[in-house]
Structure 1
Amino acid sequence: MTQRMQDLANEILRLQSELDSEIEKRRTQLGWHMNERMVAFENGIAAEHRRLRKTVKSFLAGAPLSVVVTSPVIYSLIVPLLLIDVWASLYQAVCFRAYRIPRVRRANYIVFDRQHLAYLNWIEALNCLYCGYANGVFAYIREIGSRTEQYWCPIKHALRIADPHQRYYEFLEYGDADGYRARPR
């Protein structure tokens, strides 16, 4: 990696830290904070959230027909998601141990917390559980894949890829044969 590339990577890290700080300020404005991995709301906020909850009847009455008709298709993805979740966990349990690749902590990617928001009715809470699980599995799989790629083939593509994983920028440049052969494993 050139010095300019390293400088840009450092600037991205600095900006991420600044963004994290702004997110924390917004959390404070919304009246909540984390207390040992548990959300704590200021007095009165949970009651206001309950007041803003839509009833299931009004929620369904306002739902477009296309949403109602397609929801079974959306929820049918749960079966392949469960299978890939289990298979990826088995994959890394076997392969990552064999290659001494640090294992991915599943709980860092699959998080269930939004269903506790008092302004969500049970359908909205179920939707949040589903989306949290689905996107968590995708992120978990991506991390497993990125560690696998880092071990076996840490080479950037010649063509630009959309949204590369966090390890990608540390990969060898396309065409760096000497670097590839010299890399430790």
Structure 2
Amino acid sequence: MPTQIEILLDKIKNLEDELVDELQKQQEEFSYEISKRRIYFEEKVIARHKRYVKQLFSYISDAKLKHILSVPFIWICIIPIVLMDITISLYQEICFPIYGIPKVKRQDYIVFDRQYLNYLNIIEKINCFYCSYANGLFGYFQEIAGRTEQFWCPIKHAKRIKSLHSRYQKFIDYGDAETYRAKIEKTRHDFKDIK
């Protein structure tokens, strides 16, 4: 019989799925469709979007000085982000087959689609590319780490944590030594819910 925590986690997952479905309904409202990972807008929408592009000169001249001065600090982060990407992707490629853990699909986390928005200028599109890469990558990292944690240490925390990763509901309750020893091997390999 599922515990109250498992019931709540299932509800959260169902609500997340419902939220994604609701967000997808925007396709109808904003007249676009997705085909083979590409976004297509109706011609009249493209023309309307182009009227909202902020020209580069205006974009730069309207920017606050403090924002312009912060740009190097934002972009310097790309170096450790790319190095982490290489390191963690390599870790997954080598270790996950050894442990029998299903690999995380990058494309489920790192999504580049804002370049199809004709109301963004080139600087905005580059910034969106960077944010999509970095934030998608952190989600990708979290899923890899969550699957690793499920294999090596699938124990819930006693202290409250801010956000739970997707594998946390599979973990064994904190302090439940008997269940831990009885179910550790089963829990380590319980990835049947991954599509």
TM bin, normalised by shorter chain, reads over 0.9
* Residues 35/110 of structure 1: CA separation in 2 closer, same or farther (3 Å cut): same
Superposition pairs of residues 24-173 of structure 1, within 5 angstroms: 24-173=24-173
Structure 1 residue 111, shift from structure 2 partner: 1.8
Structure 1 residue 9, shift from structure 2 partner: 3.0
Question: Which amino acid letter does the alignment assign opposite residue 13 of structure 2?
Answer: L
Q: Which runs of 5+ in 2 are unaligned?
A: 189-195
* Residues 25/169 of structure 1: CA separation in 2 closer, same or farther (3 Å cut): same
Structure 1 residue 97, shift from structure 2 partner: 1.6
Match of 2:7 in 1: 7
> Given the alignment of the two structures, is residue 177 of structure 1 paired with residue 164 of structure 2, yes or no?
no
- How many residue pairs are counted as aligned between the two chains? 185
Distance 2:172 2:131 in 1: 35
1:128-173 Cα offsets, whole Å, 9 max, x none, are 1111111111111111100100000011110000011011122111
Question: Which amino acid letter does the alignment assign opposite residue 151 of structure 1?
Answer: F
1:16-57 Cα offsets, whole Å, 9 max, x none, are 333233212223111112123221212310111111100011
Q: Which runs of 5+ in 1 are unaligned?
A: none
* Residues 107/19 of structure 1: CA separation in 2 closer, same or farther (3 Å cut): closer
* Residues 101/14 of structure 1: CA separation in 2 closer, same or farther (3 Å cut): closer
- Contact 2:110–2:137 (Cα < 8 Å) also in 1: yes
Question: 3-state DSSP class of the match of 1:111?
Answer: coil
1:85-105 Cα offsets, whole Å, 9 max, x none, are 000011111111211111111
Distance 2:79 2:20 in 1: 34
Match of 2:191 in 1: none
Question: Which amino acid letter does the alignment assign opposite residue 89 of structure 2?
Answer: S
Q: TM-score, normalised by structure 1?
A: 0.93
- Contact 2:39–2:116 (Cα < 8 Å) also in 1: no
Distance 1:75 1:32 in 2: 31
Structure 1 residue 117, shift from structure 2 partner: 1.3
Distance 2:18 2:106 in 1: 27
Q: TM-score, normalised by structure 2?
A: 0.88
- Give me the identity figure in percent: 46
Distance 1:117 1:127 in 2: 13
Distance 1:141 1:167 in 2: 13
